[in-house]
Chains A and B, each alone.
Chain A
Amino acid sequence: AQKITQTQPGMFVQEKEAVTLDCTYDTSDPSYGLFWYKQPSSGEMIFLIYQGSYDQQNATEGRYSLNFQKARKSANLVISASQLGDSAMYFCAMRPPLLNEKLTFGTGTRLTIIP
């Protein structure tokens, strides 16, 4: 069974600072995918970034990067130069290698950017 742990229920960060959201995972599969989603107060789930377990480089998408440490089973999301619009819930999720498989989500981190 797969498990995702997000240990930070809430974080407050000053605008323009970088922020790291923690995510650790547990799986016995050698192949898996890791995802981060953002859920603003409006409620939609927005895909941010993907990291494959065999990817050699850390994933980056604009201001988002993923600090992937496979041996530690961690996949932390780094947001550079935070903006007020980054205030939201952030979910880490994992998907096993099988086709059509579900995402297993962590409990989320509520990020608040302070002006």
Chain B
Amino acid sequence: DTAVSQTPKYLVTQMGNDKSIKCEQNLGHDTMYWYKQDSKKFLKIMFSYNNKELIINETVPNRFSPKSPDKAHLNLHINSLELGDSAVYFCASSYNGQGASSTQYFGPGTRLTVL
């Protein structure tokens, strides 16, 4: 009964390739997020979607394109992978509310390594 799941857990690929990471949540949340954790463990928001609509788009290269087919899924597609894209990518989800109900729950992370 995994709450937020991501696939794959590990992704090793060559520079220049295109890859996708999938995220699904079964918590009934209406908002989903992508965060990037760099090698120094710093976490930063990339995107957020609410009911399939893009809400937050931080300064992220155009090579990154999120897609939300429905409110339970948020995928991340990355074109022309670069060495600097190597990181752990976390999906998260929350209710569209305030207070404790706004708590974001994270997936297990996808460790992307670009060679």
Interface residues of A (CB under 8 A from B): 31, 33, 35, 37, 39, 43-47, 50, 52, 89, 91, 93, 95, 97, 99-105, 107-108
Q: How far is the CA of A22 from the CA of B62 in the complex (A)?
A: 37
Do A95 and B42 touch across chains, with their CB atoms under 8 A apart? no
Interface residues of B (CB under 8 A from A): 31, 33, 35, 40-45, 48, 50, 55-56, 58, 88, 90, 92, 96-100, 102-109, 111
Q: How far is the CA of A103 from the CA of B97 in the complex (A)?
A: 14
Find A45's partner among B58, B99, B106 (CB 8 Å cutoff). B106
Do B106 and A44 touch across chains, with their CB atoms under 8 A apart? yes
Do B96 and A100 touch across chains, with their CB atoms under 8 A apart? yes
Q: A99-B97, A100-B31, A102-B48 are in contact. Are A108 and B88 (CB under 8 A)?
A: no
Shortest CB-to-CB span from B37 to chain A, Å, is 9
Do A105 and B102 touch across chains, with their CB atoms under 8 A apart? no
Do A45 and B55 touch across chains, with their CB atoms under 8 A apart? no
Q: Which residue of B lies closest to A50 (CB)?
A: B100
Q: How far is the CA of A24 from the CA of B56 in the complex (A)?
A: 25
